[in-house]
Amino acid sequence: MSSTPCEKYPSVYLLPQTNQLKALMTMIRDRNTIRRDFVFYSDRVIRLLVEEALNHLPVVETTVITPTDSEFKGLAFRGQICGVSIMRAGESMEQGLRHVCTGVRIGKVLIQRDEATALPKLYYSKLPDDIAHRYVLLLDPMLATGGSAYEAINVLLKANVPQKHIIFINLVCSPEGIDYIVSNFPDIIIVTAEIDIGMDSRKYILPGLGDFGDRYFGTL
């Protein structure tokens, strides 16, 4: 089963809503799930997200010879990828990307709320020097307001990455976050596991799973 674009947003792909995915997501949403299990089940969902993101890369037809001396007409990926994680929570997704794409280059951006303006501000970025020629898997587990993702995407665009080369993967989205990103960057692909109902006054996604970074890295 492969993902289908959301009816309302053709650039947003929801993972197939299988019982397996629902059970994994239920584990990580449960506030009683201990950290070891939270990490284990999150990593399984992250792996599914990365595999789905790779479905959006271009491919070319290729022919190989099998051990039975037969020709097999298949496909090969065309184009190179890299990851960019939005620190800190996005770093939790780096291992899942490395498991699927060995040797993948991974850049980082650090965006935090500016205490004076209350707006997201870029504090640090380090990207592969050839990023303009790569497809970028942008990593952040939660798309809440979309403020950090907006800043991170602008960093990529300034580095000459075309919008249509950016695949933003996350575990949970708020409808507000999707609206914000899709309306500003209509050519970016978003791959997500679940779309939630909204956000609370502190901008936590509802029903959500709490603070992903704190639960994953054990800093509660």
Residues 76-105 that bind ligand URA (CB under 6 A): 89
Peptide bond into 105 cis (omega under 30): no
Q: Which of 26, 30, 113, 187 is catalytic?
A: 113
Q: Which of 117, 129, 202, 219 is catalytic?
A: 117
Rg (CA), the chain: 18
- Our finding on whether 205 is near ligand URA (CB under 6 A) is yes
Helical residues (DSSP H) of 162-211, grouped into ranges: 175-184
What are the C-alpha distances in Å from 202 to residues 60, 152, 198? Answer: 46, 21, 11
Q: Minimum distance from CB of 208 to ligand URA (Å)? A: 4
Q: Please identify which residue in 24, 81, 84, 144 interacts with ligand URA, judged by CB under 6 A.
A: 144
Q: Minimum distance from CB of 4 to ligand URA (Å)? A: 25
Residues 17-76 that bind ligand URA (CB under 6 A): none
Q: Residue 20: left (phi > 0), alpha (psi -120 to 50), or beta?
A: alpha
Q: Is 18 a catalytic residue?
A: no
CA distance linking residue 193 with residue 13, whole number of Å: 9
- Our finding on whether 211 is near ligand URA (CB under 6 A) is yes
For ligand URA, how many residues bind (rule: CB under 6 A)?
9
CA distance linking residue 111 with residue 115, whole number of Å: 12
Q: Minimum distance from CB of 112 to ligand URA (Å)? A: 13
User: Taking Cα atoms as reference points, which of 217, 177, 208 lies closest to residue 25?
Assistant: 208
CA distance linking residue 133 with residue 158, whole number of Å: 13
Contact range with ligand URA by CB under 6 A, out of 22-30, 52-60, 113-121, 206-214: 206-214
Q: Are 148 and 86 in contact (CB under 8 A)?
A: yes
- Our finding on whether 142 is near ligand URA (CB under 6 A) is yes
Q: Is 69 a catalytic residue?
A: no
- Our finding on whether 217 is near ligand URA (CB under 6 A) is no
Q: Please identify which residue in 77, 150, 204, 217 interacts with ligand URA, judged by CB under 6 A.
A: 204
User: Taking Cα atoms as reference points, which of 96, 92, 132, 91 lies closest to residue 109?
Assistant: 91
Token reading at 109: 């951006």
Q: Is 196 a catalytic residue?
A: no
Q: Minimum distance from CB of 194 to ligand URA (Å)? A: 12
Catalytic residues: 113, 117, 211, 214
List residues near ligand URA by CB under 6 A.
Answer: 89, 142, 144, 204-205, 208, 211-213
